[in-house]
Amino acid sequence: MLYVDVILPLPLANRYTYSLPEALEGQVAEGSRVIVPFGRKKFYTALVARIHSDPPAGYEIKDVVEVLDPHPILLPGQFRLWEWIASYYLCTPGDVYKAALPSGMKLESETIVTLNTDYEADIPLSVREQQVLDQLTADPEQCITQLEKHAEPGRNLLPVVNSLLAKGAIHIKEELKRSYKPKTEARVKLGKGFDTEERIRPLFDELARAPKQLALLMKYLELSGFFNNASTLREVSRKELLARADATPAAFTGLAEKGIFETYQYEVGRLDKAHTATIDINPLNEAQQAAFDAITACFREKNVCLLHGVTSSGKTEIYIHLIRRTIEAGRQVLYLLPEIALTTQITERLRRVFGNRIGIYHSKFPDAERVEIWQKQLKPEGHYDIILGVRSSVFLPFHNLGLVIVDEEHETTYKQQDPAPRYHARDTAIVLAGMHGAKVLLGTATPSIDTYHNALAGKYGLVQLGERYKDMQLPDIRIVDIKELARKKMMNGPFSPDLLAEVRRALEQHEQVILFQNRRGFAPMVECRVCGWVPKCKNCDVSLTYHKGLNQMTCHYCGATYDVPHLCPACGSVELVNRGFGTEKIEDHIRAVFPDAKVARMDLDTTRSRSAYERIISDFQSGRTHILIGTQMVSKGLDFDHVSVVGILNADTMLNYPDFRAHERAFQLMAQVAGRAGRRDKRGLVILQTKSPELPVIRQVVANDYRAMYDEQTGERTVFHYPPFCRLIYVYLKHRKEEVAAQAANILAAWIRTAFGERVLGPDKPPVGRVQLLFIKKIVIKLDLGMSGSKVRDYLLTAQQRLLADERFHSLTVYYDVDPM
Ligand code: ADP
Ligand code: ZN
Ligand code: ZN
């Protein structure tokens, strides 16, 4: 008897073992997907991690129901990466499985109920039973969730379904919904009996009274090459045929009814194939060549190299040269980007050089396309040599990875926040590369302090590129003290007179402007002028953001929306004022000041679809829009040619953020957004508005002095013991009742303290203490760098198990954020 250990798409600590019916033996491999029952009447797609013949003891073993893949859909190394992620980031293999595979490869289960039409009631049915049967008479196949919609609200229908099942009135079937369907198109062929020339000829007369049908038939014969060679016809799609013949579907149906045409489905791929390389690679200039040589020299000794190059120094050109070298050596490249917004520009640049050797992988792509890329990458031949993608592309199969490029390595979007696995794609990519013996290049103008620290310590190589391409100058950064101006009543809304004057000058000279504000929506807060009441989310401990365009209030934590209040519910006053500036309000104001300028806004709200990004960027690139307002999205490596002025509207919101990385992050954002200013022939100008011009980090931005920022921040972090001088693990506990969460957190913190003493802080209420109706407590653990990670993890997981075994805490959620951002 054979058994399989599988990973289920559920947050379970362990693998589960199923027996393999004899009929399925030989059809399954390690890495195949199988369908297994789990829990009550639920079926899941599970992944086979191991096949063996040791019967497990202690529980009843169920059978595998079906094998989906005779061949593995994971390459052997991928399991090892999954295991590393689960163990390092303190989550389950099921969490990793869910994040790794596109949803089309994970089937869902829904119970379908069908009516037994032969059933005759011999004993009276209850009212609810009769209702269900009536519903099923109207529609004889429904899933339980659907039936429940019409039933009495709030009451579980399962017992009713159960009793009907026992009486034989209904059947139940578990139907697995296959959400990935291969894409097909209808193609046309000649019907049986019409596929020879002798049979076709007479039709020309017979169809004389149906000229449209005749014309359509003639077109088909032409397109398929029938008269050239009737035995090897070219395949013709129905759509193409109708279009080329300019015919109606009616004419087609006419021929199909006569049996002259038949249609059949043909599987076509979704991945577009028509990209050919059109240009040669640009030669590197002297500084770039020197950096390139330094990188390749570094790779002889080290696996990871940091390329610290100022904005517009041509880092992307260096990547392109490295990519070419790698694929010429027959190895694959993974090119990671922090954000979908960036893929458009980079894709265009890379496609021009590498044509269809490059595949793009990101979450805004339809799932079916992601499935196809996955399957293409599994093949030993014919896969993409280069994958360009965001975070989740580290999960793709790679046969022979030679190089990973992590562009804008400092970006926090590389870290997944919610749900688990809370992995960092950069760090995961380094582990992935290690498994393949591949090299990693981390590129950025503003390295993360963690990475720079590793480079200075010699763990990573370090290559600097200090000059911009064609000696373009770095922008002139001018500080404007808005506290002083506000006191003198000289501000025009969020704009200083200086900023408006520079924007006006730029527009007059047909140059472009970027305005950066790191808050979306219209106003981050609404407040009653009389009593100070502030509308808050019912589910979270957060004040609501006013979105004027949508005319609603939104919670940025859980997404809940509310009507805009017109009266203060606390005191009845109508004097509700909005405070602060979101991108939407900035847009309103700037349109009022410059009614003739074309203004666009790029933030989460305006870029929900993939095409929206592309349109905003291409409109700005081509000069159709003059002013671009945006959140941190506009800071990320976008390359524009005519931007002469960049306005940073309020540095303080970034600086006051309660996190030890706030100043590092503010420096990075400001330096990056400043880097968008300037043109080939003209130095750019940045207006930096702040209430705290005296802060060192402001000076460091103005001087573009990364090293000064690094030294100052690491100085503070040594004293207060923060990364990179320790490793952080946050432990979160969530519960509907605040007392339960607090009690559990106190117990857990005390246990962890017995092992780690002073290194444990808390429990505390995090800045947002309640999200989606759950109260949150947080324990912080600061681990010394020398400590064994695996011992710590084992200790934490054991403590967690012990805590959850306590009856009081059975509905408590415990999760971890390792290396939090
Ligand atoms: P970075 O990635 O460092 O911000 P880019 O690679 O985007 O810089 O380069 C900035 C601009 O300079 C781009 O428009 C790029 O095409 C151009 N450029 C940089 N290096 C070269 C080169 N060697 N040949 C031609 N154009 C270059
Ligand atoms: Zn009030
Ligand atoms: Zn909320």
Cα 612 to ligand 1 centre (Å) = 25
Chain centre to alpha carbon of residue 483: 39
In terms of domains, do 503 and 632 share one?
yes
Q: Return the sign of the alpha-carbon dihedral for residues 122, 126, 131, 132.
A: negative
Whether 553 is in a domain gets the answer yes
Residue ranges of E strands in 38-91: 43-52, 66-67
Q: Could you tell me whether strands 545-547 and 552-554 are parallel, antiparallel, or unpaired per DSSP bridges? A: antiparallel
Q: How many domains does the chain have?
A: 7
What Rg value do the Cα atoms of the chain yield, rounded? 31
pLDDT tens digits along 249-306: 899 999 999 999 998 887 777 665 566 666 778 999 999 999 999 999 999 999 999 9
CA of 194 relative to ligand 1 center, distance in Å: 61
pLDDT digits (tens, 9 = 90+) for 783-810: 998 888 888 889 999 999 999 999 999 8
CA 795 to chain centre: 32
Any domain includes 29? yes
Residue 278 covered by a domain: no
Q: Are residues 315 and 340 in the same domain?
A: yes
Is 296 a pocket residue for ligand 1 (Cβ < 6 Å)? no
Nearest CA to ligand 1 atom 15: 314
Residue range(s) defining the domain that contains residue 775: 727-818
Question: Same domain for 555 and 659?
Answer: no
**Assigned token pair, 179:** 């959400």
For strands 512-516 and 358-361, give the pairing. Answer: unpaired
* Closest ligand 1 atom, residue 675 Cα: 4
Using DSSP's 3-state secondary structure scheme, residue 555 falls into coil
Q: Are both 366 and 431 inside the same structural domain?
A: yes
Determine the Cα angle at 767 with ends 766 and 770, to 5°: 70
> Do residues 575 and 587 both lie within one domain?
no
On whether both 439 and 325 belong to a single domain, the answer is yes
Nearest CA to ligand 1 atom 6: 314
The residue-averaged pLDDT of 96-125 equals 77
Higher pLDDT residue, 505 or 773? Answer: 505
Per-position DSSP letters for 724-764, written without gaps between them: TSSEEEEEEEEESSHHHHHHHHHHHHHHHHHHHGGGEEEEE
Q: For the whole model, what pTM was predicted?
A: 0.81
Please report whether residue 535 resides in a domain: yes
Q: Residue 629 pLDDT more than 60?
A: yes
Whether 247 and 324 map to the same domain: the answer is no
**Which tokens in the block code for residue 368?**
């079916």
Last residue of a domain, one of 456, 471, 486: 471
Cβ(770)–Cβ(543) below 8 Å? no
DSSP-assigned letter for residue 420 = S
Same-domain pairing of 681 and 780: no
pLDDT of residue 711: 97
In short, whether 320's Cβ falls inside 6 Å of ligand 1 is: no
Give me the count of residues in the chain. Answer: 821
288 lines ligand 1 (CB under 6 A): yes
Q: How confident is the model at residue 681, as a pLDDT?
A: 75
In a domain, 634, yes or no: yes
573 CA distance to ligand 2 centroid (A)?
5
Q: Residue 433 has which token pair?
A: 């590369």
State whether 467 and 488 are in the same domain.
Answer: no
Q: Tell me the pLDDT band of 178, cut-offs 50, 70 and 90.
A: very low
- pLDDT for 172: 65
Q: Report the distance separating Cα 82 and Cα 94, nearest Å.
A: 9
Residue 620 φ then ψ, to 5°: -75, -40
**Ligand 1 and 309: CB distance under 6 A:** yes
In the listed set 716, 736, 755, which residue is the last one of a domain according to the structure?
A: 716
Distance 558 CA to ligand 3 centre (A): 4
739 with 803, same domain: the answer is yes
Q: Is residue 272 part of a domain?
A: no
Could you give the C-alpha distances from 767 to 403, 476, 541, 743, in angstroms and in order? 40, 36, 9, 19
Segments of 120-257 assigned E as strands: 141-143, 170-177, 184-190, 236-237
Residue 282 Cβ < 6 Å to ligand 1: yes
3-state secondary structure 190-217: ECCCCCCHHHHHHHHHHHHHCHHHHHHH
Query: Is the predicted pLDDT of residue 719 greater than 50, yes or no?
Result: yes
Give the helix/strand (H/E) hosting 593: helix 583-593
Residue 9: CB within 6 Å of ligand 1? no
Across residues 470-488, what is the average pLDDT? 90
pLDDT digits (tens, 9 = 90+) for 183-227: 778 889 998 888 888 888 888 888 988 899 999 999 999 988 888
Does residue 659 contact residue 730 with C-beta atoms inside 8 Å? no
Q: What is the pLDDT of residue 164?
A: 81
